[in-house]
């Protein structure tokens, strides 16, 4: 049985539609390692040897576009315990280029002679197949001519070594070995560079390129100590290299959800990342709004979960197939992206986006509001609900989209259609924000939407609160198909803070419940209470800690006036950064080993809303 490969021990670098995953010694071989472009692995083998011996790995690190490795050739140089021949390797991804740099440095007393070989293995496997644990049976044949190259049905890949290799040979079909004899004197390193470049040979519906250099946050002034500046710089650098240009309008940029599995436009993820970055990048905000508006649904189609006015969940180059999951290239199975789009439009206008830009998006605003109104009218209890009607889409369509995420207090899984508490909160916030936008635009409807929001808030108040003790009540994470509260204690309630859904007293109950030790863990807020029978510290949404989830709750606590509680979450996230090499993980286990985070092995790294969480921490620190 094949299984999804794990990523937690890999070094990962990204730039727009391309990403490279390598082992800690800089090699590419087996599992998910490889160089990917446009959701296709083009290189599945990269092995460096000196005299047919692999260097011993000592250290590796990654940020943004670059992964660096430090190794030692223990068979070369002086005898003794100290390594005297260092092997430094860099893998740099730049758009559709992968640059492999190898530098051999000798500290030995005498000169060193060695034979350096790089074995490259071609590939053409789709990302979804790699994620499912599959490997292409017959890789493309490598052509060794004036230029080394191979091709599949979507790319033509060339290999250009500098200096030219002394020998290039097949080892075996589908692979090529490049060889250089090296003579290295002390203090005179030898460097070889190999540039791989992938040219598209066929077009798809979503050939996005790397984002614009105009969105550059690397020089953002950050006060504080080195640890704090490194936290901000590392994550915002990662975020910058997750930027993509909209292929339908290259002037617009958005943030891809995460590498390697979700290196594309995701409604919810891209919207939240843009919201987090709003104080620092209006261009990202406007690009995200427009990119999603262009793909807003205009018809009803159960196969794609499209309904008029709905903002898409994700956009892929081709149909995405993984087991029973069959997602079309543009998929609308999300209950919250549409209200979140409205919320971002309103917040962007509040932050200074010109009214003329809002006016350009007014038809999309009206369509999104129309979808919210229709969805609530069609619901038997007047709540925003979701259901995977097609049977091949996502069974859960909020941010906790795994099939087992909705848990009752007894640990049982809730039945769909589901009404999420955070989806109602986003809808209330969206309706109130839309009322202000409509008034500013001189259009009708502001009073109606304020009334609509108040009525929805009243329905939540009547049905979602759990517990008889007035001082120990909390919000259920959802209502199930029968209207019964999904009363497992989860982090969902934290997303309702500062949305206008709750009264001050109700927000105080939410804040207090989230601060208890079964929810606030050492490194963030857990998705599910550790008291729940279904709690699993390495469950995707059943006990894990997600960086963005904790950051959203931190943001809500701060905006709602719970300064002490917000500071506790801030401290937990700073602790997580410090103990994760400052690159925020998508998620971790709900329990540490000692005081260090336990990785969730298959999670993306970097991931958009995790990286953007650094902006939430930065804004919080600047405001306090």
Q: What is the pLDDT of residues 590-622, one digit of tens each?
A: 999 999 999 999 999 999 999 999 999 999 998
Q: What is the pLDDT of residues 462-482, one digit of tens each?
A: 999 999 888 889 999 999 999
The strand pair at 249-255 and 243-246 is best described as antiparallel
Residue 43, phi-psi category: left (phi > 0), alpha (psi -120 to 50), beta (remainder): beta
Q: Please state the length of the chain.
A: 624
Tokens 């890999």 -> residue: 10
pLDDT band, residue 1 (cuts 50/70/90): low
In DSSP notation, 439-500 reads HHHT-S-HHHHHHHHHHHHHHHHHHSEE-SSTTS-EE-SEE-TTS-EE-S-BGGGGGGTTTT
Yes or no: say if 95 and 15 are a contact pair by the CB < 8 Å rule. yes
Rounded Cα distance between 524 and 482, Å, is: 32
- Among 218-227, 512-521, 535-544, the least confident range: 218-227
Helices 226-240 & 608-623, crossing angle to 10 degrees?
Answer: 140
Rounded Cα distance between 396 and 592, Å, is: 28
- CB neighbours of 301 closer than 8 A, spacing ≥ 6? none
Q: Which residues of 288-303 are buried (b: 16+ CB within 10 A; e: fewer)?
A: bbbbbbebbbeeeeee
Measure Cα distances from 50 to 76, 118, 119, 202 in Å: 9, 9, 12, 38
The pLDDT of residue 225:
86
Residue 327, phi-psi category: left (phi > 0), alpha (psi -120 to 50), beta (remainder): beta
Rounded Cα distance between 273 and 255, Å, is: 7
User: Which of 73, 81, 76 has its CA nearest to residue 112?
Assistant: 76
> In a 3-state reduction of DSSP, which class is residue 266?
strand
Q: What is the pLDDT of residues 433-468, one digit of tens each?
A: 999 999 999 999 999 999 999 999 999 999 999 998
Token pair for 312: 């898409």
pTM: 0.96
Helices 421-441 & 362-378, crossing angle to 10 degrees?
Answer: 140
- CB neighbours of 207 closer than 8 A, spacing ≥ 6? 17, 38, 200, 247, 317
The pLDDT of residue 204:
80
> In a 3-state reduction of DSSP, which class is residue 118?
strand
Say if residue 134's pLDDT is above 80.
no
Measure Cα distances from 417 to 311, 424, 453 in Å: 19, 14, 22
Rounded Cα distance between 218 and 241, Å, is: 11
The pLDDT of residue 80:
86
Q: Express as a percent the part of the chain with pLDDT over 70.
A: 99
Q: Which has the higher per-residue pLDDT, 153 or 213?
A: 153
Rounded Cα distance between 343 and 362, Å, is: 13
Residue 286, phi-psi category: left (phi > 0), alpha (psi -120 to 50), beta (remainder): alpha
Q: Express as a percent the part of the chain with pLDDT over 90.
A: 87
CATH architecture of 11-200: Distorted Sandwich (2.70)
Q: What is the pLDDT of residues 376-432, one digit of tens each?
A: 999 999 999 999 988 889 999 999 999 999 999 999 999 999 999 999 999 999 999
Q: What is the pLDDT of residues 43-55, one digit of tens each?
A: 999 999 999 999 9
The pLDDT of residue 2:
66
Fold classification of 226-623 (topology level): Glycosyltransferase (1.50.10)
pLDDT band, residue 320 (cuts 50/70/90): confident
The pLDDT of residue 221:
83
Q: What is the pLDDT of residues 493-527, one digit of tens each?
A: 999 999 999 999 999 999 999 999 999 999 999 99
Q: Is the peptide bond before 251 cis (omega within 30 degrees of 0)?
A: no
Ranges for all domains in the chain classified under CATH 1.50.10.10: 226-623
Residues 608/610/613/615 CA torsion (nearest 10 deg): -40
Q: How many Cβ atoms are within 10 Å of 352's Cβ, its own excluded?
A: 8
Rounded Cα distance between 551 and 566, Å, is: 9
Q: Which has the higher per-residue pLDDT, 22 or 389?
A: 22
Q: What is the pLDDT of residues 325-383, one digit of tens each?
A: 889 999 999 999 999 999 999 999 999 999 999 999 999 999 999 999 999 999 999 99
Rounded Cα distance between 262 and 285, Å, is: 20
Ranges for all domains in the chain classified under CATH 2.70.98.40: 11-200
**In 223-277, where does DSSP find H-type helix?**
226-240, 267-277
- CB neighbours of 82 closer than 8 A, spacing ≥ 6? none
The pLDDT of residue 73:
96
- CB neighbours of 415 closer than 8 A, spacing ≥ 6? 480, 481, 482
Rounded Cα distance between 320 and 312, Å, is: 15
- The span from the first CA to the last CA of the chain, in angstroms, equals 52
């Amino acid at each position: 049985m094949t299984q999804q490969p794990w990523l937690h021990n890999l070094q990962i670098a990204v730039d727009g539609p391309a990403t490279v995953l390598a082992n800690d010694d800089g090699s590419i071989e087996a599992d998910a390692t490889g160089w990917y472009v446009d959701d296709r692995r083009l290189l599945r083998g990269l092995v460096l040897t000196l005299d047919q011996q692999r260097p011993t790995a000592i250290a590796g690190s990654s940020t943004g576009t670059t992964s660096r490795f430090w190794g030692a050739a223990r068979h070369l140089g002086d005898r003794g315990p100290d390594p005297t021949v260092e092997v430094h390797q860099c893998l740099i991804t730049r758009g559709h280029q992968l640059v492999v740099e190898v530098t051999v440095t000798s500290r030995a007393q005498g000169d060193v002679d060695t034979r350096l070989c790089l074995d490259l293995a071609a590939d053409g496997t789709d990302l979804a197949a790699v994620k499912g644990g599959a490997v292409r049976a017959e890789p493309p044949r490598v052509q060794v001519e004036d230029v080394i190259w191979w091709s599949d049905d979507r790319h033509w890949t060339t290999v250009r070594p500098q200096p030219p290799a002394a020998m290039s040979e097949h080892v075996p079909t589908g692979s090529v070995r490049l060889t250089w004899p090296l003579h290295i004197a002390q203090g005179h390193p030898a460097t070889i560079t190999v540039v791989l470049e992938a040219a598209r040979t066929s077009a798809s519906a979503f050939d996005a390129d790397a984002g614009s250099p105009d969105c550059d946050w690397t020089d953002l002034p950050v006060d504080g100590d080195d640890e704090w500046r490194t936290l901000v710089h590392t994550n915002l650098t990662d975020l910058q290299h997750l930027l993509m240009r909209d292929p339908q309008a290259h002037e617009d940029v958005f943030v891809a959800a995460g590498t390697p599995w979700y290196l594309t436009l995701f409604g919810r993820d891209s919207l939240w990342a843009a919201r987090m970055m709003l104080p620092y990048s209006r261009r990202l905000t406007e690009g995200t709004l427009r990119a999603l508006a262009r793909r807003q649904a205009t018809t009803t189609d159960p196969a794609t979960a499209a309904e008029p006015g709905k903002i898409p969940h994700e956009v892929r180059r081709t149909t995405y197939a993984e087991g029973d999951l069959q997602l079309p290239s543009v998929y609308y199975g999300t209950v919250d992206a549409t209200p979140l789009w409205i919320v971002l439009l309103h917040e962007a206008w509040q932050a200074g986006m010109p009214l003329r830009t809002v006016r350009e998006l007014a038809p999309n605003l009206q369509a999104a509001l129309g979808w919210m109104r229709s969805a609530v009218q069609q619901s038997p209890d007047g709540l925003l609900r979701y259901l995977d009607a097609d049977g091949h889409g996502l069974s859960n369509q909020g941010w906790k989209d795994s099939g087992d995420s909705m848990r009752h207090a007894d640990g049982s899984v809730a039945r769909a259609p589901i009404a999420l508490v955070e989806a109602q909160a986003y809808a209330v916030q969206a309706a109130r924000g839309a009322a202000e936008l409509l008034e500013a635009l001189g259009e009708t409807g502001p009073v109606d939407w304020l009334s609509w929001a108040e009525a929805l808030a009243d329905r939540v108040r009547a049905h979602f609160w759990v517990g008889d003790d007035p001082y120990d009540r909390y919000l259920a994470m959802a209502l199930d198909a029968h209207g019964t509260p999904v009363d497992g204690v989860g982090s969902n309630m934290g997303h309702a803070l500062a949305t206008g859904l709750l009264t001050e007293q109700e927000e105080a109950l939410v804040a207090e419940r989230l601060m208890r030790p079964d929810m606030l863990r050492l490194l963030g807020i857990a998705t599910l209470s550790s008291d729940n029978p279904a709690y699993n510290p390495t469950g995707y949404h059943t006990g894990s800690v997600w960086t963005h989830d904790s950051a959203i709750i931190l943001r809500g606590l701060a905006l709602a006036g719970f300064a002490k509680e917000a500071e506790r979450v801030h401290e937990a996230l700073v602790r997580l950064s410090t103990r994760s090499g400052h690159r925020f993980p998508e998620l971790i286990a709900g329990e540490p080993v000692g005081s260090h985070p336990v990785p969730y092995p298959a999670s993306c790294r970097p991931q958009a809303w995790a990286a953007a969480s650094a902006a939430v921490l930065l804004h919080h620190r600047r405001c306090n």
